[in-house]
Amino acid sequence: MKIRQLYIKILLSFLVLLVITIALIVTLFIFTAGRSYKAQLDQQTFSKLQIFQALVQETADLYPQKKAADNADLLKLLTTFSSLFDVKIWISDPGETILFKTFEGPANVPQTGVQRQVHHDNGITLYHFVLKWIKYYATIPITAGGDGLRLHLYYDTRDPDHPEGLFFIGIIVIGGVVALMVIPMASFITRRINRLNRSAVEFAGGNLSVRTDIPGHDEIAKLGGSFNLMADRLEKLVQNAKELTANVSHELRSPLARIRLSKELILDKLDQDKLAPKDAKAAIRRYADSMEDDIQHLDTLVDHMLTLSKMDYQESELTLEKFSFTAFVEKELKAYQSVFRQNDLKIDLDLDGDVWVCQDKTVLKSVLDNLLDNAVKYTAPGQTIGIRARSDAKKGLLFSVTNPCPAFSPEELGMLFKPFFRRPGQTAPGTGLGLTITRKLVRRCQGSITAGNTDSGLTFRVILP
């Protein structure tokens, strides 16, 4: 069965890592601290056994003629030592016959599960019980009454102390506490992801105004910020698309109506038998020219709409290059000389020295062309179009285009960059999208464009970094 909840996956992943970590800690303890502890215990045990061997042998040597079983001082020493340290002690001859013991019952020593270590100097043999290192069984060679005997010691605690067990229990308790602490942590992570998921589902359901609020500065918080950025852009795109559709429907209605009317007039002229062929041909030509103008208007309108759509949905990267804006403007004005002469317009050019800029030359050309086209379109013959440019250390490039015209109201200034805006009473041809495209181009360059009334007319100011 697949685990689908992220909360459970995080918790189980942490628990697996915790178990692996504990296993590694225990292994490290066994192979480092455990071995060191055992080696130290061995050394201490052998030292004590050697002291005990010397003490027993010294007591036996006080009465060299007495057998071990008849040496009262020796037996008293063994009994006292056995009682004091809770150790089972017995003496056996070479044939393993028990001559004396400090306890009742058989002398049973486990024969399996032990490790054997031999002290080579004094013949002491020590047996350790595996996983029970504090339990041991030792044999010590002694001589009493001229007989070679073996002294047996068996240490068997019935309520053993297991420090390693306490260590392992402590590790498990700490692991459990940490595991409990990770529960709210995993809940905190999944709670924020669930909040983001709910916002995404609501957004997909049509509520384009929904946004998510995820605190923090980690990757999940950044994902929430990216979602909000995406939602802002999509909401703006959808809103612009709705406005564009509504405005386009209105703009297309007029030229289509004129084309339809021209078609009907042409058909009407063709049906009039009394009309002279020369007059009919002239009328049809006039209507056809009118239809051509409307078709050209529609073609320009569609072209501008496609340009706006591309700028909204697919912005290509800018190709930045450093160039002289002064030379750039002068070259553009030369291309417009025939247009200026045809419309009887003058140019007042004021460039503050050799102004340089680092921008996309193609985009900047489109901005300047749109502003010049707009100025030519709405400037009366015989008047002057003003162009200013200067460099600012903080703001960058500042340039403006001014065309003489009556002052705009604050409401009209606010609508200048809206799609399809046309000032009441204007008859100049156009789609009403040129300034909208210009503002988008300027913003692509991280700049700004504003419009305002001046003594010379309407001035468009552009600032580019």
Q: What is the mean pLDDT of the chain?
A: 79
- Residue boundaries of the structural domains of the chain: 6-165, 214-314, 317-464
pLDDT at 46: 82
76: number of CA atoms within 13 Å, CB side?
Answer: 4
pLDDT category at 456 given cuts 50, 70, 90 is confident
pLDDT tens for 344-390 read 999 999 888 888 899 988 888 888 988 998 888 888 899 999 999 99
Q: Are 200 and 227 in contact (CB under 8 A)?
A: yes
Mean pLDDT of 164-191: 77
Closest among 251, 290, 257 to 433, alpha carbons compared: 251
Distances (CA, A) of 5 to 188, 220, 222, 453: 14, 17, 22, 62
pLDDT at 79: 92
Give the least confident one: 64-73, 270-279, 389-398, 452-461: 270-279
Distances (CA, A) of 368 to 302, 332, 387, 441: 21, 8, 10, 10
Give the bridge partners for 116, in sequence order.
127
3-state SS, residue 304 = helix
Q: How many whole angstroms separate alpha carbon 342 and alpha carbon 379?
A: 13
pLDDT category at 41 given cuts 50, 70, 90 is low
Mean pLDDT of 37-43: 69
Closest among 153, 150, 154, 136 to 60, alpha carbons compared: 150
**How many percent of the chain have pLDDT more than 90?**
14
- Three-state secondary structure of 146-186: CEEEEEEEEECCCCCCCHHHHHHHHHHHHHHHHHHHHHHHH
For residue 41, the Cα-to-chain-centroid distance in whole angstroms is 54
With 80 as the cut, is the pLDDT of residue 459 above it? yes
With 90 as the cut, is the pLDDT of residue 461 above it? yes
Which H/E stretch holds residue 435? Answer: helix 434-444
When mean pLDDT is compared over 130-134, 233-237, 294-298, the highest value belongs to 233-237
Mean pLDDT of 243-263: 65
Amino acid letter, residue 190: T
Pairing type for strands 384-392 and 346-351 reads: parallel
pLDDT tens for 391-435 read 888 888 999 999 998 888 888 888 888 877 777 666 666 667 778
**How many percent of the chain have pLDDT more than 70?**
75
Q: Give the CATH number of domain 6-165.
A: 3.30.450
Mean pLDDT of 165-184: 78
Q: Are 168 and 26 in contact (CB under 8 A)?
A: yes
Beta strands in 69-155 (DSSP E): 88-92, 98-101, 114-118, 125-129, 132-144, 147-155
Angle at 252 between CA 248 and CA 253, to 5 degrees: 120
pLDDT category at 449 given cuts 50, 70, 90 is very high
pLDDT at 278: 62
pLDDT tens for 2-14 read 555 666 777 777 7
With 50 as the cut, is the pLDDT of residue 452 above it? yes
Q: How many whole angstroms separate alpha carbon 287 and alpha carbon 284?
A: 5
Q: Give the CATH number of domain 317-464.
A: 3.30.565.10
pLDDT at 416: 85
Domain 214-314 architecture: Orthogonal Bundle (1.10)
Using the 8-state DSSP alphabet, how is residue 31 labeled?
A: I
pLDDT category at 1 given cuts 50, 70, 90 is very low
pLDDT category at 152 given cuts 50, 70, 90 is very high
Sign (positive/negative) of CA torsion 212, 214, 215, 217? negative
pLDDT category at 285 given cuts 50, 70, 90 is confident
Q: Are 432 and 244 in contact (CB under 8 A)?
A: no
pLDDT at 151: 93
Cα radius of gyration (the chain): 51
Mean pLDDT of 7-29: 77
- Rounded to whole angstroms, the maximal C-alpha distance in the chain is 170
pLDDT category at 448 given cuts 50, 70, 90 is very high
pLDDT at 402: 93
pLDDT at 385: 92
With 70 as the cut, is the pLDDT of residue 309 above it? no
Q: How many whole angstroms separate alpha carbon 375 and alpha carbon 69?
A: 132
Give the least confident one: 98-102, 139-143, 311-315: 311-315
Q: Which residue has the higher pLDDT, 271 or 57?
A: 57
Q: Which residue has the higher pLDDT, 167 or 52?
A: 52
For residue 287, the Cα-to-chain-centroid distance in whole angstroms is 64
Q: Are 363 and 445 in contact (CB under 8 A)?
A: yes
pLDDT at 106: 86
Overall residue count recorded for the chain in this entry = 465
For residue 190, the Cα-to-chain-centroid distance in whole angstroms is 15
Token pair 């044939």: residue: 95
Mean pLDDT of 273-298: 67
3-state SS, residue 343 = coil
pTM: 0.48
Q: How many whole angstroms separate alpha carbon 312 and alpha carbon 243?
A: 13
pLDDT category at 444 given cuts 50, 70, 90 is confident
Q: Which residue has the higher pLDDT, 103 or 293?
A: 103
3-state SS, residue 445 = coil
230: number of CA atoms within 13 Å, CB side?
Answer: 12
